[in-house]
Every structure is written in structure tokens, then in C-alpha cells.
């Protein structure tokens, strides 16, 4: 079994709303190291399927590494969705889940800045983790803007109110209920967020909500680089299914030369022009880290130290990351003849 794959028991299942549950994991002492995580990261869960064997889905950790003794994910049913409904219907205390170790890059670089955290629906899960962690471990002020259809669909309603009582000087929670105020538009959102001061912004929710928030932020002069977004979608790939045996990819006589530093070891390889960096490494038996292979998780992040490369997609990276030479191995193709990559992130 892949060393990154773990089987963990479920300690508790908490009904949050009529269509969402929090699943608390029971991590045994000998596995605590594998389950160390940062606020904003996610777990990838294997869900059995009678047609395909299994599917893989990412779920953000709603727990805080500094406040909560056990990691937890919160799953909201997606209409006609396979995995979310399976988890909500089948997981009980004592169930065993197959998961990959935490990963993801939707993580604040410091806990000491003022943050604006914007969520809609199940997008609250990484936002809750970040809010609790900044409040517990940092000094910054936290504003949570949280949009939902109505009061009954507010996940963590009670916990957010309790946090506000615990941190009256540092936390403001602003609820936007569509049944009362209508669908939030950029102009209306700008009015709300414009009255707060903050450094970085974290946004998670349906695409339409994230687009409106981004327009709102732009309209009040917030630089794009200060806004991080986490995009929810179902994985097409399945990191739990066995990976094909390493295969020799066709190389032309003048394939670029790749020097790579990973896990303290150096390798020199031919990098066929149409192959991604991750494929080349795996084909050569090098145990490179990865989860989604679709640019969303950021697990295969590394740095281009010499030479030129290009990425097909880069959802998990910010413009600043890219400017600093950070790249996603699963999306990186060679552009120059000699390239040096380091897995140093």
C-alpha cells in the first residue's frame, strides 16, 4: 500500500445541519506524525464504489491543529453526488476510513496578520479551521463573512457564536442569509467587506460566490495577490488505485536533461518533451509526492532552480509563488535543455 495511505477509525460523527456532518477521526499515537496538519489543509478520502472499486474525494479539515485534539472533516451532501451522500449515510462511530495524509496550500503564511475569511455553504470548513487557528495561535483580527441560504443551513452556527463570545475584540462574524438579503452581489459584498481592515483574504465556496467576492475586493482596491481561493471539485483521478508500473517513455536523442533533488538525493534523468515532471519521476521509480494530479492539491509542489519550464494548469499556486519559481510537478513540462528542480517546499 502507498506509504501515504492510512486507515483510521472514526471517533465521532456530529450532525451539523440536516445535510452536513462532521467526521472526527481517532488517530492512534503511532500515527500522529503522519496526521500533523496546518489550518486550511484537506484530507483525501477513499469511498468504496461497486462500479469503479473506489472514488477519491478531498475534504477540508474543519478542526484546528492548535485547538482540537482530533482532526475532523465536515461533509455536506451534494445533490445527486456520490461520495458526499455515501459518507453522510454510511459513516458511524467506529467506521474505518481510508485516507491520504493531510495536504494543500490554502494555508496562511502567518497567524499574526488580520484576515478576512469569506465562505458560502460547505466552504466554511477550511475557513473555520483558519479562524480557530489564527485566534488560538496568532494575534491578528479575524472577520468571517459567511453566506447561506437560510439560518438552518448555517454550518457551525453555534460554534461561530461561541468563538465570537470568546474573542470579542478579535472576531467578527457576518452572516449573509440569501432568504433575507437575496443572492450576494459584488456591489453589496463590497459594502460589507469595505468596512473592515485586513491583510490577506481567504475565499471558499461555489464559483459564483467566489467570483462576486473577488470583484467586490477588486472594487475596493484589494490587490489580487492578497486573495487566496480554494476551489471545491470532485477529483477525476484516484490516488488510491494502484499506479501503473513505471514505464519507459519515448525519448528523442535531445530530450532535456533534468537534475532533481528530492529527499536529500540527487538524480539526473532525460525529460521527454511531452511528459510532465511527475510522470518522469514516477517512471524512473522516484517516490515523488502527489495526490490529485489535477493541479488543485499542491502536494507535488517544488522549485525550478535552473532552466525554464511551463505549467499546463496551476490552480493551487498564487502569482507570487509562480514568480518565485514554485511549480507543480504534475503540470510541469520542460522548455529549456537543462533544468534543475528541487523538492524544497
Ligand X SMILES: Cc1cc2nc3c(=O)[nH]c(=O)nc-3n(C[C@H](O)[C@H](O)[C@H](O)COP(=O)(O)OP(=O)(O)OC[C@H]3O[C@@H](n4cnc5c(N)ncnc54)[C@H](O)[C@@H]3O)c2cc1C
> Which parts of this chain interact with ligand X (CB under 6 A)?
42, 57-60, 73-76, 78-85, 104, 122, 125, 230, 232-234, 296
Q: Of the two residues 83 and 131, which places its CB atom closer to ligand X in the complex? A: 83
Q: Of the two residues 229 and 272, which places its CB atom closer to ligand X in the complex? A: 229
Q: Of the two residues 6 and 77, which places its CB atom closer to ligand X in the complex? A: 77
From the list 204, 237, 326, the residue with the least C-alpha distance to 44 is 237
The rounded distance, in Å, linking the Cα atoms of 176 and 154 is: 10
From the list 236, 243, 304, the residue with the least C-alpha distance to 271 is 304
CB 231 to ligand X: min, Å: 6
CB 30 to ligand X: min, Å: 27
CB 286 to ligand X: min, Å: 25
CB 203 to ligand X: min, Å: 13
Q: Of the two residues 58 and 216, which places its CB atom closer to ligand X in the complex? A: 58
Q: How far is CA 207 from the centre of its chain?
A: 15
CB 108 to ligand X: min, Å: 16
CB 86 to ligand X: min, Å: 8
Q: Of the two residues 75 and 302, which places its CB atom closer to ligand X in the complex? A: 75
Query: Which residue number has the CB closest to ligand X?
Result: 81
CB 43 to ligand X: min, Å: 9
Q: Of the two residues 233 and 273, which places its CB atom closer to ligand X in the complex? A: 233
> Which pairs from 293-297 meet CB under 8 Å and 24+ separation?
293/237, 293/239, 293/330, 294/235, 294/236, 294/237, 294/330, 295/328, 295/330, 295/331, 296/58, 296/231, 296/233, 296/235, 297/42, 297/44, 297/58, 297/103, 297/104, 297/105
CB 319 to ligand X: min, Å: 20
Q: Of the two residues 235 and 282, which places its CB atom closer to ligand X in the complex? A: 235
CB 22 to ligand X: min, Å: 10
Q: Of the two residues 105 and 275, which places its CB atom closer to ligand X in the complex? A: 105
List the beta bridge partners of residue 14: 22
Q: Of the two residues 62 and 275, which places its CB atom closer to ligand X in the complex? A: 62
Amino acid at each position: 500500500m502507498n506509504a501515504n495511505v492510512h486507515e483510521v477509525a472514526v471517533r465521532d460523527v456530529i450532525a451539523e445541519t440536516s445535510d452536513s456532518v462532521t467526521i472526527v477521526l481517532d488517530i492512534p499515537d503511532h500515527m500522529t506524525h503522519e496526521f500533523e496538519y496546518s489550518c486550511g489543509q484537506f484530507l483525501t478520502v477513499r469511498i468504496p464504489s461497486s462500479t469503479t472499486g473506489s472514488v477519491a474525494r478531498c475534504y477540508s479539515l474543519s478542526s484546528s491543529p492548535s485547538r482540537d485534539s482530533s482532526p475532523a472533516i465536515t461533509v455536506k451532501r451534494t445533490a445527486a453526488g456520490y461520495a458526499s451522500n455515501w459518507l453522510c449515510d454510511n459513516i458511524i462511530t467506529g467506521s474505518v476510513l481510508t485516507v491520504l495524509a493531510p495536504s494543500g496550500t490554502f494555508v496562511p503564511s502567518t497567524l499574526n496578520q488580520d484576515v478576512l475569511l469569506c465562505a458560502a455553504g460547505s466552504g466554511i470548513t477550511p475557513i473555520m479551521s483558519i479562524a480557530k487557528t489564527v485566534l488560538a495561535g496568532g494575534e491578528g483580527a479575524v472577520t468571517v463573512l459567511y453566506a447561506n441560504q437560510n439560518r438552518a443551513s448555517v454550518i457551525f452556527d453555534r460554534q461561530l457564536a461561541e468563538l465570537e463570545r470568546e474573542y470579542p475584540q478579535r472576531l467578527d462574524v457576518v452572516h449573509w442569509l440569501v432568504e433575507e438579503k437575496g443572492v450576494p452581489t459584488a456591489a453589496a459584498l463590497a459594502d460589507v467587506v469595505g468596512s473592515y481592515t485586513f491583510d490577506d483574504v481567504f475565499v471558499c465556496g461555489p464559483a459564483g460566490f467566489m467570483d462576486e467576492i473577488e470583484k467586490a475586493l477588486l472594487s475596493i482596491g484589494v490587490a489580487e495577490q492578497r486573495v487566496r481561493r480554494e476551489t471545491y471539485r470532485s477529483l477525476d483521478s484516484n490516488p488510491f488505485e494502484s499506479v501503473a508500473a513505471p514505464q519507459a517513455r519515448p525519448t528523442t536523442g535531445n530530450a532535456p536533461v533534468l537534475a532533481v533533488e528530492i529527499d536529500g538525493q540527487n538524480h539526473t534523468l532525460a525529460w521527454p518533451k511531452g511528459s510532465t515532471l511527475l510522470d518522469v519521476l514516477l517512471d524512473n521509480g522516484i517516490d515523488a509526492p502527489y495526490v490529485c494530479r489535477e493541479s488543485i492539491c499542491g502536494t507535488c509542489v517544488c522549485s525550478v532552480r535552473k532552466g525554464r519550464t511551463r505549467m499546463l494548469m496551476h490552480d493551487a499556486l498564487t502569482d507570487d509563488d509562480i514568480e518565485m519559481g514554485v511549480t507543480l510537478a504534475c503540470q510541469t513540462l520542460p522548455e529549456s535543455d537543462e533544468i534543475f528542480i528541487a523538492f524544497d517546499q
